[in-house]
Structure 1
Amino acid sequence: MGHEGPRADPGPSRRHRGNDSYDNIEPLFTSLAALSEDDPERSRLRAEILDRCLPLAEHIARKFSGRGETYDDLLQVARLGLLNAVDRFDVSRGSSFLSFAVPTIMGEVRRHFRDNTWSVRVPRRVKEIQLNLGSTVETLSQRLGRMPRASEIAAELDIDVVEVTQALIAGNAYQTSSLDAPVGEDGDSGSLPLMDSLGSDEPSYGWVEDFMAVEPLLGELTDREREVLRMRFFESKTQSQIAERLGVSQMHISRILSRTLGWLREQALRD
């Protein structure tokens, strides 16, 4: 990688090779449809369409990279989807090729993930939900200003919360690595097996998981409830000290803590 800053994704309508473009390619499909199957010009024109649309396949393959499959493999799958899109597109319907090709190519890539990249058997329904989780979580995070709860993801996808949980767990079955496989660059002879490089369990990881489960719920508490939790667990104050700070009885603080912690526990376990 160089030292230049990140560049904005040009998107599928980016111009390609000067004046060539695939965002106004429908006239070529009109000419293609007018040719008979045995016309030699048909093969040449089809090849021209495919060549001009290759950047679209590259863009979609890049969009799905970083999910456990190499870019080259994804590019081959995306190109197959492009081939299907070119052969199936009906220009007489009046729609743009881009609006037809993008879902066709993306569908081919998603099928590849669903059918070929799971290390253990996972039900097809769960695979399909799992593939939608990333974009759904991103959308909800932007909308809510926080990480969404499992129930909110389920509502967005119009599915049961149990299915969301199953899909989240299924993500762990996406790929596996042998414990005997060497780690390090290119697996050189000096690399240790993965088993020997594993450390001990870090107990703090459990705190991170607990925080991720509870953090979305904190926004639903009252200001007083959040203040009591902050002083009790972040400032390590006693109930008596909190009561004195807020000008209430220690029993009142005890009831707030008991009620609030009980509600958080119930909601976190439910989600």
Structure 2
Amino acid sequence: MRKADVTDDRSGRDDRSRERWRPLAQHLSARFTTAGDSDEEMVQAAVTTIVDAERRLGTQRPDFCLRVVPLVIRALRRHRLELIRRRPSAARPLPALQLAIVAAESDLSRRLHRSPTVAEVATHLDMAQHQVVTGLEAGWPSGPDTLTSRAETT
């Protein structure tokens, strides 16, 4: 009677594979990381996607990277959207912040005779630059439909 091999070497292979694909994952996740997000979470999401694709497709295919990069980008977008949805409502920018930024921009534009930079607005409001950027981003339209609907109403 033969003895069954009960040792599982997959965990060792997964660790080696994860380290091998980490530079690609870091490069791709850097495009999707914002000031408030954890870079490591995005890298882990990218590495997991690459390792899963490696298991399914195999790396011997010459077009492996061409096939895996769009998969990773979609996974990172989904992960970023999940992070935004999990963010508490208190962390989302308030209309008061947007109004304060608009007022500060107006005041600084009059004084400087040019559009103020983010750093100047942040100094004027005594807050961090990333908070000003978040407030500015919150005021932008959320997609292409909002631009067309505004153009049609005016």
Q: Which TM bucket (shorter chain)?
A: 0.3 to 0.5
Q: Which has the larger radius of gyration?
A: 1
Higher relative contact order (CA 8 A, sep 6+): 2
Larger helix proportion, structure 1 or 2? 2
